[in-house]
Chains A and B, each alone.
Chain A
Amino acid sequence: MKRADVIEIVATSTQCDDVIVATTGLISRELFERFDSERNVYIPGSMGLVSSVGLGIALCDTNHRVVIIDGDASLLMNLGSMVTIGSRRPKNLLHIVLDNGAYASCSEESSMSGTANFGLLAKDVGYKYTATVGDREALKRAILSFKGGPGFLSAITELGGRRDFRRPQKLKEIKRRFMRFMSRQPKGKI
């Protein structure tokens, strides 16, 4: 499974009222270029904080589900956030980690995720649902079967793929668009 597959499946298998918060680098840039939407938040600079921003949204608006697309190196940069999520246990939060074992948005330098078991860690700190997926179908099934969180999905992915994506630049416009989206109540129950 490639990064492109994960981005596509998250964007197309989630509900239209779900929020997507994407981490720094190619994950945000690919989501922005291929699946830009008012429900998306991109974290272009402060690497690691995607799970904290997602948790803040999930705790403050329980009418929306929040899907976080994290990376392994990004998660390692803010590992304490998993403990915070586990302590607050938001039902409406799904934390997906795209684990390719590298700083893929740089020059694919190795991260230290190879010796870490994120799924076990997630379970241990209080996530209610955890799974590790290695192909498109399993990822899709895991997203569709997600009922109550906090959920944690480790998506094992290969390196490589397209890199020439545009960058989200007009962040204040993205903020206003997102806040308008959040002020509308979702149609269906979560």
Chain B
Amino acid sequence: MKTKDRQAFNALNGKGSERADRLHRFLMESGFDFATGVPCGVLKHIIANLVGDKRVCHVPANRESEAIGLAAGAYLAGKKPLVYMQNSGLFAASNDIASLLVPYGIPALMLISYRGCEGEDAVQHLTTGHATENLIRSFNLPYEVFDGRKRDINACVSVLIGLMTERELPAILLLKRGWYV
């Protein structure tokens, strides 16, 4: 990994992020008005923006499965839900995604931090990191990986919103550490 990339990857303590703010504006324009999840440092700008926005009904969850249930209920009551969590939580909530969101056809947008990929320094993330994309592919869910380089984040989200609406499925944006730098 190059030094510049390494710095971005480890930029967990940076202040506000222009990219996160742009993403937030796009999410609001797209009509998302409910958010739930379990925090991860990699997602802190996203969460702070959601918490600070009165247009969003934000209900923190104790664990990721609970967030899936809350998002399902919000959708059934006419809201457009966002769910945020770490990919470790994606595994904890995988049956709830498979047995509630998928058969009911609930299109929640899931913003998931992607720990355990190249450069990871925390051993507990390695197994789930390795399995994350395989899990999502085996569930046949639309997803994109964003690492802060090359592509525009709002373009990724736009593709996912189109797919989740058309296919009536949850869609996942995997965000690597340093995605907002």
Contacts and interface: CB of A to CB of B under 8 A. Distances in A.
Task: Tell whether A pairs with B.
Answer: yes
Interface of A: 21, 41, 43-46, 48-61, 78, 80-81, 83-84, 88, 171-172, 174-175, 178-179, 182-183
B62 interface: yes
Contacts of B60: 84
Mostly helix, strand, loop or mixed at chain B's interface?
Answer: helix
Interface residues of B, number: 33
Given A45-B99, A61-B77, A56 B70 contact: yes
Contact of B95 (A46, A59, A81): A46
Pairs of residues from A and B, 5 with the lowest C-beta to C-beta distance, nearest first? A56-B73, A45-B99, A52-B69, A80-B62, A49-B69
A21 B74 CA distance: 13
A48 B59 CA distance: 18
B76 A182 contact: yes
Mostly helix, strand, loop or mixed at chain A's interface?
Answer: helix
Given A46-B100, A60-B57, A171-B105, A55 B70 contact: yes
Contact of A49 (B34, B36, B65, B74): B65
Contacts, number: 116
B44 interface: no
B169 to A, nearest CB: 11
Contacts of A183: 78
Interface of B: 34, 36, 57, 59-63, 65-79, 95-96, 98-100, 103-106, 168
Contact of B73 (A44, A45, A48, A53): A53
A100 B180 CA distance: 50
Nearest to A56: B73
B74 A83 contact: no
Given A60-B57, A60-B74, A172-B168, A78 B103 contact: no
16 contacts: A46-B69, A49-B66, A49-B68, A52-B65, A56-B59, A56-B70, A57-B76, A60-B73, A60-B74, A60-B77, A60-B79, A81-B66, A172-B168, A175-B104, A179-B76, A182-B78
